[in-house]
Structures are given as structure tokens and as C-alpha cells.
Amino acid sequence: MKTRLLGGLAALLLAVVGAILLFVYVQGAAARAQAGLEPVNVLVVTERVPAGTKTSDLTGKVKSESLPKSAVPEGALETLDGLDGKVTAVSLEPGEQLLEARIVDPRDLLPGTVPVPEGLEEVTFLLTPERILGGRIEAGDTVTVYSSFEIGDGVPADASVPGEVRGWKQTTGLLFHDVLVTAVQKAAPETKGKSDSDPAGTAVEMPNGSAFITVARSDADASKMVFAAEFGSLWLAKQTGTTAKSDPPVTTFGGLY
């Protein structure tokens, strides 16, 4: 009788312990499930973004969405703050979350290069410092390209020349906006220090020679730039996030003043 009573008490105790453990497990699972459903704000790509796109150009191409925490991978970004000067390391597709690992410093990819957007090709030009902001153009920059020509006397009268240009020997015009610089190869700057005539002068870095500037463009646009470099000259102007873009007429001496 006593043995049966002890056996019954042991079974009851085990049942109670089992019930408590089951309750604790269920509560923990519910808490874990609830934590997984906790909403988190992340940036989601809304349109295709080519590799090499600057983060300053991502505004309008990504939006903030609230997703369950369990569906958000590690490194997902909530904001573009603090990413100035960086670029996308790969192409981004609509619907994917923007990950920190896919935003890199242009110099971290290859020395002085950024990826070429899909569908474009690269072409290189040798330009002197004054044509590239004193040598301050870097890979990842977006530039406006201008070309200047001196029209020779032998140009046929029926040549395809705009009316406002005809009769003028020197012209300058805007070729393209939004040209991505993919690589820059230049010599190290030359440091100018104090001189006898200016003992209090501050050492400054001066451009040291020309630089090879590589840009990504379509084959048709690259052809126009090659023509301008071969028979005229190119100038690059660095764009910013607030650069106003217009379509100015070809500049001649007659239209300068």
C-alpha cells in the first residue's frame, strides 16, 4: 500500500513538473515568435540600381518599409545617413533590402575604380589638370562633359553645323550630363613648401601632370567623346547632388557677351 502511494505521488510530481516545463516552453516559443514579428523599418529598393551608383543618387530609388524582424537579414540599412561618398558594389533589383555590405567606398573595390553599369562600356582620355578640377576628379564622381573646337577654314559650306555656330571658328558646347567616372590614374601631387620669398607660406599640393580619366558610357556617346578628344578638347565639370542641369546652346564669341 505504501509503495503504491509513493508511486502515485511520484507520478503526480512528474506530471506537475512536466506541465510546468511545457508551459515554460510554450511561453518561450510564443515570446520568440512575437519577437520575430516585431516590425523593423528597412530600406527596400524600388527600381533597378546599376553597380557603381553613388549613395547620393539612391534617394527616390529606395523607400522605407516596415517588415517583421525575422525577415530582415543582418546588416539591413534603415537610412542612407552616413553613407556619403560611397557607391553600390553590385546591381540592385526592385524588392530587395538594401544591405550595408553592398555599399562600399569606391577605393575598396579596386584601386581607383568603380564597377561599370550594365550595358555601358569604358573609354579613357588623357586630360591635363585644369580640365579635371586641378586633378580632383576621382573614381565614382559624376561629371558634365564639355567639348571645344576650332573650326578650320576648309569646312564645307553645306557641312552640318548649327545656325548659331556657322561663321564662328571657335565653339564650346555641352556634350553630356551624368557621366560616371570609373577610374582615375594620375601621378602623386607635388608638394610646394615655404620659399625664401615667402617664409611664412603654407605647404600645398599642386597637380603633377596629366591624368588618365576613364568613364562609362554607351558606344554612341563614347564615339562622340572620342571625336571631341581627337579633333578638339574635353573639359569635365564635377556634379553635386544639387547641380542644375540645362540644355545651353553652343557657345561662340558672338553669343558670349
Q: In this predicted model, what pLDDT tens digit does every residue of 60-92 receive, in sequence order?
A: 889 999 888 888 888 889 988 888 888 887 778
62 and 132 share one domain? no
Q: Is the pLDDT of residue 252 over 90?
A: no
Kindly provide the residue ranges of all beta strands, DSSP E only, lying in 72-194, ordered along the sequence.
Answer: 87-88, 103-104, 121-127, 142-150, 170-186, 190-192
| Residues of the domain holding 87 | 39-104
173-185 tens-digit pLDDT: 999 999 999 888 8
- Among 75, 104, 133, identify where a domain stops: 104
65 and 153 share one domain? no
130 and 163 share one domain? yes
114-167 tens-digit pLDDT: 778 888 999 999 999 999 988 888 888 899 999 998 876 555 555 555 545 555
Q: Answer whether residue 188 is part of any domain.
A: yes
Q: Answer whether residue 1 is part of any domain.
A: no
Alpha-carbon distance of 242 to 255, in angstroms, equals 27
Q: Answer whether residue 15 is part of any domain.
A: no
Do residues 162 and 244 touch, judged by C-beta distance below 8 A? no
Do residues 89 and 51 touch, judged by C-beta distance below 8 A? yes
The tally of domains found in the chain comes to 2
139 and 185 share one domain? yes
Section 196-216 average pLDDT: 65
